[in-house]
Amino acid sequence: MTAGRGLMAPPAPAGWVRIDGVRTEIWLPSGFEGGDVEEDLPLIVENLRHLGNDFSPFVEAIEANPDSIDLIAYDTQSLAGGVFTNVVIAGERVPSAIDAGDYLEILTSRLPDTFVVLDQRELDDDTVFADLRLDLSGAVVMRQRIYLTKREGMIWSVGFTSSEVEFDDRRGAFEVAFSRFRLK
């Protein structure tokens, strides 16, 4: 069972930090920064811009859609393969008939051809995940683990992104972090 409101997650590993969003929180390894998009957006954008121009499309997407994002966190110590490791949490109210599996099917059917779905599974009745690969330029390849969970009439997307070269090493941390994702 995944963590959530009213459910007790095991304690976070030593050295991990809690990042708070508007309606969510998650524990991540040390080195991650970020937070509540409503309150911290100017600081988050400023810090991301300091990472370099390569990340300007990500910053522009955040600035264009701040209402759809609850929390953004990024690893200040990891820029391997031209990709900075990050976590984005977003929520969307959905009709009661739509579950996380339906939402994943809709989401993956709308992905551009540059995305490849490598794996997707149901974790429990309310939670699914997908592993994706995105080839940006031949030299820069991203991997994503996206968890979708339905809670309180909303689908919450918890997306972890890293370079392909780091993804397998980070997958375990992504799994632990998701187990500590909670609604406030």
CATH architecture of 17-183: 3-Layer(aba) Sandwich (3.40)
Q: pTM score, two decimals?
A: 0.86
* Mean pLDDT along residues 68-78: 86
* Mean pLDDT along residues 65-93: 83
Name the residue type at position 180: R
Angle among Cα 44, 46, 49 to the nearest 5 degrees reads 110
* Mean pLDDT along residues 28-35: 92
C-beta separation of 27 from 16 below 8 A: yes
Q: Supply 70's token pair.
A: 């609850």
* Residue, of 3 and 103, whose pLDDT is higher: 103
Closest by CA position to 71, among listed 160, 4, 141: 160
**Residue 23's Cα: distance from chain center in Å?**
15
> What is the percentage of the chain residues whose pLDDT exceeds 70?
84
Angstrom distance (rounded) from CA 48 to CA 28: 18
How does residue 112 score in pLDDT terms, banded at 50, 70 and 90? confident
Burial of 86 per CB tally in 10 Å (0-12, 13-18, 19+): buried
Closest by CA position to 101, among listed 57, 135, 149: 149
| Residue 128: per-residue pLDDT | 96
2-15 as b/e: b if 16+ CB within 10 A = bbbeeeeeeebeee
* Mean pLDDT along residues 45-52: 70
Q: Where are the domains of the chain?
A: 17-183
